[in-house]
Structure 1
């Protein structure tokens, strides 16, 4: 099995050591009242998420409007006249769990619903990082996360990006996304020996700039079963079986 790293904070710190990746990671800080206040003075939208967790569970979106503050947890929106009132309610929602604050990015949309991209990267049989698949995830109505396990719909890259990019630019963007995935794999491996596969969650903003939201060291391979190109899922599974067999031999 690939090494599992649970802390989103530790993974973020590992990526920030790479000069190129640092430019496409939204500002991320630990959750506390001072950091939240400071971030809201700079950004109209933020996401707060558990340091440890998966499937988009516990993610909250915070917005600053002209006359009120609000946050959305699951499908419910809570509004407050002042920052202290919002923070007090937010603290109750979060409880004692360790959370992070991340700058919100306005994502591209597919049929009015935000989407992001899961880039799968794996160690191949030649012991090199390889991007083995990209699949889009379209958020369900009224949801703030795109995760498949939270109701997101898997979609191939082409129908999601073709309204925004020409065929030539789509090819270039695919190459760029794959390169980001591979660079992420190398950055993670430098810090966490034994990592063999990653699901890199990337969103594109209105300028088509990619942003890395999260890196999963135990990604769901089966979402790629939904991809129309069945060879992608077969390759992902064959690579996974190869490094799992290799690790078993090492343990003997």
Structure 2
């Protein structure tokens, strides 16, 4: 005779149906589609201006966006930690030189005399994965290396969105991505922005980022119910405008342990435990 769920639960072999349902309901939702999350942001008028132009990749779209922006990033629709991200550029002719195209994946950079040659090689790198193409943002630099910012936003135990941490990620000198797990270094926002802003302006800017993070969280939740945490990757250009590059619904909380203020990670951990992440 098959033992019922109720009997197993009484024997301590399984949680009760009520407890299991509560655990499932409390579990944070993961959303893999970068395009889906981008469209969620674009659906909010207050966020639309912070999202770089993003389209599905094909030859015509890539050629059009390179003509308009000169530099773009090609990304897999589903992927984490900067995996599969490629930087593509259209170089302007100088001193009679011919037009050329380049793309960099990892530390390897390749050059091509024609768009057709570049795109053929790009497709071989991409394979069958579905990719999107995004307007490239010229990132601010720290000691010669590009950096972006990660904004952590979480659902509190009181079911309110709160920005719980902001940290900077500096790219490895030879790479195009800033991810810590791909050779990047973690720095405080204050350290990275010191060259560009006064102390008071830095404080105000962080508050702006925190507000942007909360708006992004609400936008993603409106489309994907059950999301309880997001990591917002923000690029800052040389006019100090923040751009939302993408949103991660399973952000790494442990990078915040690198901050001197240990209260930041303590709160992140406490909230994550409340919704069953840690």
Task: Report the alpha carbon displacement of residue 168 of structure 1 after superposing the two structures with TM.
Answer: 1.4
Corresponding residue number in structure 2 for 1:55: 81
Separation in 2, partners of 1:20, 1:202: 16
1:20 aligned to 46, 49, 53, which one?
Answer: 46
Task: Report the alpha carbon displacement of residue 242 of structure 1 after superposing the two structures with TM.
Answer: 1.1
| Structure 2 spans left out of the alignment, 5+ residues | 1-26, 94-98
Separation in 2, partners of 1:19, 1:167: 31
Number of matched pairs? 245
Separation in 2, partners of 1:46, 1:217: 23
**Secondary structure, counterpart of 1:116 in structure 2:** strand
Task: Report the alpha carbon displacement of residue 218 of structure 1 after superposing the two structures with TM.
Answer: 0.4
Task: Report the alpha carbon displacement of residue 126 of structure 1 after superposing the two structures with TM.
Answer: 1.6
| Structure 1 spans left out of the alignment, 5+ residues | 246-252
1:128 aligned to 157, 160, 184, which one?
Answer: 160
Corresponding residue number in structure 2 for 1:92: 124
Task: Report the alpha carbon displacement of residue 196 of structure 1 after superposing the two structures with TM.
Answer: 0.4
Task: Report the alpha carbon displacement of residue 89 of structure 1 after superposing the two structures with TM.
Answer: 0.5
Corresponding residue number in structure 2 for 1:250: none
Separation in 1, partners of 2:85, 2:36: 18
**Secondary structure, counterpart of 1:244 in structure 2:** coil
Q: Does 2:212 match 1:186?
A: no
Task: Report the alpha carbon displacement of residue 243 of structure 1 after superposing the two structures with TM.
Answer: 1.8
> Cα RMSD between the aligned structures?
0.9
**Secondary structure, counterpart of 2:39 in structure 1:** helix
1:207 aligned to 218, 223, 239, which one?
Answer: 239
Task: Report the alpha carbon displacement of residue 36 of structure 1 after superposing the two structures with TM.
Answer: 0.5
| Structure having the higher Rg | 2
Task: Report the alpha carbon displacement of residue 141 of structure 1 after superposing the two structures with TM.
Answer: 1.1
Separation in 1, partners of 2:28, 2:232: 15
Task: Report the alpha carbon displacement of residue 146 of structure 1 after superposing the two structures with TM.
Answer: 0.1
So what's the TM-score if we normalise by structure 2? 0.87
Task: Report the alpha carbon displacement of residue 228 of structure 1 after superposing the two structures with TM.
Answer: 1.1
Give a deviation string over 1:117-165, Cα, whole Å, max 9, x none: 0000001122100000000000011110000111110111111001100
Corresponding residue number in structure 2 for 1:176: 208
Separation in 1, partners of 2:246, 2:115: 27
Separation in 2, partners of 1:193, 1:40: 35
Corresponding residue number in structure 1 for 2:137: 105
Task: Report the alpha carbon displacement of residue 172 of structure 1 after superposing the two structures with TM.
Answer: 1.0
